[in-house]
Amino acid sequence: MRYQKPKGTNDLLPGTSEKWQFVEETARLIFRDYQYEEIRTPIFEHYEVIARSVGDTTDIVSKEMYDFYDKGDRHVTLRPEGTAPIVRSFVENKLFGPEFAKPYKTYYMGPMFRYERPQAGRLRQFHQIGAEAFGSENPAVDVESMAMALDFFKQLGIQKFKLVINSLGDKETRAAYRQALIDYLEPKQDELSDDSKRRLHENPLRVLDSKDKKDRAIVAEAPSILDYLSESSKTHFETVKIMLNELNIPYAVDSNMVRGLDYYTNTIFEIMSEAPGIGAQSTICAGGRYDGLVEELGGPATPGFGFALGIERLLITMAAEEVVIPAINEIDAYVVGIGAETNIETLKLVQVIRNFGFSADRDFMNRKPKAQFKTADKVNAKLVLTLGENELNEGIVNVKSMANRNEIAFPLADIYDRFDEVYDEMMTVMFD
């Protein structure tokens, strides 16, 4: 039998995993600047957590979840998205309490799972980075979150993208718009896809999110939700636009954008890649406000705002823009041992260098010196320490700069006693 990875999943091998590390570490640095702290939730959740949050009529719940009954006959699911588990954790751990900062800012990163047709940027196991802020209705939270996402992309080196926003309003807005949308769609019901026919009276906003070409042509002429905003929702959305303008953040308004999840209220947004050849999967980040979700999962009425982005799709965008990812596999020192008698000493040298806080490696395959030097080049070693039988007998080690090929001999005792000082001295001498 030939064993292979499951369909719709990927092995992240060295050469690729470094790119992921760069993206993840950049996210952590940016989020820290905005005072967000990490929460890690289980990879599987009780089915009801997702179904109640995301909505029974969404494609995620009705078609895509990996849900099953475990040995205790509990209905569980692999998490298909990150917000609902974070909200469940927020409620369960009483993070809304007075001892916690307001708004409570958190982020997450990790694998998510949806059963769908695998394609570029859309896998069955995919990975998301997301951020959530709880406790404030202030439109400034909406704008700060969008600004943080945009800062993240800029820090990665992505330049070709656009911000698109819309408002889904509050409960009053939804009730008025729901009826207007039904009135518009009912005369065209026979032309709708089977999914949209089913959703027409269950959740007509889902029709606006349909990917069917005929449905999309029909909803293009549908009434705009912006014409049905309540006064409070209208004020909120206008303030968001004013704040974006004040921060000189360009944006466009798309009144047909609804997002694929039921918990959103008021502001929603997407960041879309405009890189050449990016194709249909152009949305690289999306999110919005969900002021009723905490209460829906048993917590006190608590407003929230958040976003998520897919790492796989983000890396596709970076490749399309030819973003150069900094090399992270270079090491400070590579120790070359010549002859079997140096085996013990080279091991000691490598460990001493590491103990001083530097990265180091050596040959373990008994290769010739030429092959060892090639390896030092391949791993981008800054310095190469060469130790042969003669050097061992004399108590010295030859240190070479791989940048300019200058070489200096140092006493072995200096390496063992004060390598940090020796390193600084070597770099000063060699690059002066």
Give Cα separations from 315 to 6, 23, 243, 329, 363 (angstroms): 21, 8, 30, 19, 33
In degrees, rounded to 5, the angle at the alpha carbon of residue 308 between the alpha carbons of residues 279 and 114 is 70
Q: Is the peptide bond before 111 cis (omega within 30 degrees of 0)?
A: no
Give tens-digit pLDDT for 345-383. 999 999 999 999 999 999 999 999 999 999 999 999 999
Which DSSP letter does residue 402 get?
T
Residue type, 6: P
| Crossing angle (nearest 10°) for helices 311-320 and 17-33 | 100
Instruction: Give the mean pLDDT of 379-401.
Output: 95
Q: Given this model, what pLDDT does residue 116 score?
A: 86
Residue 422 pLDDT > 90, yes or no? no
pTM of the model: 0.87
Q: Give the chain's mean pLDDT.
A: 92
The structure tokens listed for 400 are 């070479």
% of the chain exceeding 70 in pLDDT: 97
Closest CA to 168 of 80, 282, 86, 253: 253
Q: Given this model, what pLDDT does residue 233 score?
A: 96
Round to whole Å and give the CA distance between 286 and 225: 19
- Return the number of other C-beta atoms located less than 10 Å from residue 343's C-beta: 14
Long-range contacts of residues 117-120, Cβ cutoff 8 Å, at least 24 apart = 118/7, 118/8, 119/281, 120/279, 120/281, 120/316
CA 28 to chain CA centroid, nearest Å: 10
Give tens-digit pLDDT for 254-306. 988 877 667 889 999 999 999 988 876 689 999 999 999 999 999 999 999 99
Instruction: Give the mean pLDDT of 161-181.
Output: 92
Instruction: Give the mean pLDDT of 226-232.
Output: 95
Reported confidence tier of residue 152, pLDDT bands at 50, 70, 90: very high
Pairing relationship of beta strands 265-273 and 44-46 according to DSSP bridges:
unpaired
Give tens-digit pLDDT for 407-421. 999 999 999 999 999
Locate all alpha helices (DSSP H) within 139-269, ordered by sequence: 139-156, 171-185, 194-202, 205-208, 213-219, 231-246
Q: Given this model, what pLDDT does residue 432 score?
A: 46
Reported confidence tier of residue 431, pLDDT bands at 50, 70, 90: very low
Identify whether the C-beta of residue 214 lies closer than 8 Å to the C-beta of residue 193: yes
Instruction: Give the mean pLDDT of 75-87.
Output: 96
Residue type, 119: Q
- DSSP of 127-146: EEEEEEEES---HHHHHHHH
Q: Given this model, what pLDDT does residue 417 score?
A: 96
Residue 389 pLDDT > 90, yes or no? yes
Residue 403 pLDDT > 90, yes or no? no
Continuous segment of H or E residues that includes residue 427? helix 412-431
Q: Given this model, what pLDDT does residue 260 score?
A: 61
Q: Given this model, what pLDDT does residue 54 score?
A: 82
Round to whole Å and give the CA distance between 298 and 284: 31
Q: Given this model, what pLDDT does residue 341 score?
A: 96
Continuous segment of H or E residues that includes residue 407? strand 407-411
Instruction: Give the mean pLDDT of 219-248.
Output: 95
Q: Given this model, what pLDDT does residue 430 score?
A: 47
Identify whether the C-beta of residue 164 lies closer than 8 Å to the C-beta of residue 49: no
- What burial class does residue 421 get, using C-beta atoms within 10 Å of its C-beta: 0-12 exposed, 13-18 middle, 19+ buried? exposed
Q: Given this model, what pLDDT does residue 429 score?
A: 61
Residue 52 pLDDT > 80, yes or no? yes
Query: Which of 9-13, 352-356, 425-429 has the least mean pLDDT?
Result: 425-429
